[in-house]
Amino acid sequence: MAIYAISDLHLSMAVNKPMDVFGGGWENYMQKIDENWNKTITDDDWVLVCGDLSWATYLEEAEADFRFLSSLHGKKILCKGNHDYWWTTLKKMNKFLENKGFCDIYFLHNNSFVCDGVGICGTRGWISPDNPEFTEHDDKVFRRELGRLELSLKSLKGKNCREVLAMLHYPPFYTDKGSREFLELMKDYGVSKCIYGHLHGPDFKDAVEGRVEGIEFLLTSCDRLGFKPVRLY
């Protein structure tokens, strides 16, 4: 069993929003994901998907995208991305999975998982307070996301974990700017690895990767990874 990660699949099987418009690298991206994923992942593996799974607006509209994801090898844990408009309550989403028979997909939302001794926690995150467009509303969302990450981290208490991984959608901070609050929270709870997505193309330059203050950071946007899940453990 191994643990992999990828993010920002931006599936659009039921809505007309192909990613090809964002450059040649996205041509036939679903075929690339399908082939690379199934050549890499076995059904015993876990894949952490850090947000932006589907362009669908409603959960039922996302069914075809979930069916595609479920057809891929392995068990998948999803956190919310900024474009996951279909995301709703955990109860409704779990019922959707049950009704559709998607038994290999799990949602990370104020909860946590343990995979082969690795505690998996996380949340969506939000834009940084030093963003010039940051508003009072953004501050409320930012604080709420910090709280959700802490709830997720706390839910690991009493579970047998050899280490803790945090999965976010937004970067916890950027190369030369950004709030340290997500970083400090992860340090307080002993997080050893943090994966995230959201950044594409020219924004890769802002990605924090490598070890920072004892935590290893990795950007997992699928175009950054060549549309192939990256092994973490």
Strands of the 105-107 sheet, one edge to the other = 105-107, 75-79, 46-50, 3-6, 230-231
pLDDT at 178 over 80: no
Of residues 69, 75, 5, the one with CA closest to residue 45: 75
Q: So what's the pLDDT on residue 106?
A: 99
If pLDDT is split at 50, 70 and 90, which confidence band does 176 have? Answer: low
pLDDT at 204 over 80: yes
Identify the residue with better confidence: 22 or 199: 199
pLDDT at 92 over 70: yes
pLDDT at 175 over 90: no
Q: What is the pLDDT of residues 19-58, one digit of tens each?
A: 766 666 888 899 999 999 999 999 999 999 999 999 999 9
If pLDDT is split at 50, 70 and 90, which confidence band does 179 have? Answer: confident
Domains and CATH numbers, the chain: 3-231 (3.60.21.10)
